[in-house]
Chain A
Amino acid sequence: IVLTQSPGTLSLSPGERATISCRASETIGDTYVAWYQQKPGQAPRLLIYRTSRRATGIADRFSGSGSGTDFSLTIAGLEPEDFAVYYCQQYGNSLWAFGQGTKVEIK
């Protein structure tokens, strides 16, 4: 399965809503999609798992949704610390794969 994220870069202002899309090349089970945030020089951090469940300590402005082949991550009201790169990830057939990443930058 290939995951394609869009857009590649999202230029937004603090307070705006960010929506990142992740499209799979074939149908994925809803339990198998996760989202990560990565800041420069840091390891990735789990944000969302099983499509829509927030990981421990993740703010409720982060939400995930989707089914089938189309999934999305929404950040409702960007905070200064949210400007980072975001990756979707899926599991299937004993393989794990990541999307190519979406950079959310300050406009």
Chain B
Amino acid sequence: EVQLLQSGGGFVEPGGSLRLSCVASRSTSARFAMAWVRQAPGKGLEWVSTIDYNGGTTFYADSVKGRFTITRDDFKKTLYLQMHSLTVEDTAFYYCAQVSWPTHFDYWGQGALVAVSS
């Protein structure tokens, strides 16, 4: 069983920065690729970023490339999403998810709201 516990959401002004965290609790010490998926209020799911199992390769949606950075600290079992130059279009619930490489997302965090507003 895998549990993903998220933290770090909140309110930020346009142009600001925020970092999301996602701590994994697993019955195995194996490492897995991880991802961030977001959902604007009342809208559908949008893939944001993926990091491979050892952090060596990262992938980003065009909408966040150059502004968001995905990283992982396997010692702390924590996934991060550093977000810069936030705009109102980035307002969404952000979910971390474990990637069953490379095809789908098999476990999800509870979500964290990022609200960008002046």
The secondary-structure label for the interface of chain B is: strand
B32 within 8 A of A: no
How many chain A residues touch B (Cβ–Cβ < 8 Å)? Answer: 23
The total number of A-B Cβ pairs within 8 Å is: 56
- Shortest B68–chain A CB gap in Å is 15
Q: Are B44 and A32 in contact (CB under 8 A)?
A: no
In the assembled complex, which residues on chain B have CB atoms less than 8 Å from the CB atom of A72?
Answer: none
Closest to B100 in A: A49
The stretch of A9-17, A19-27, A97-105 in contact with B is: A97-105
Option from B47, B105, B111 in Cβ contact (under 8 Å) with A46: B105
Given A44-B45, A44-B95, A101-B44: A89 in contact with B59 (beta carbons within 8 A): no
Give the 4 A-B residue pairs with the shortest CB-CB distance, closest first. Answer: A34-B104, A43-B108, A96-B47, A98-B45
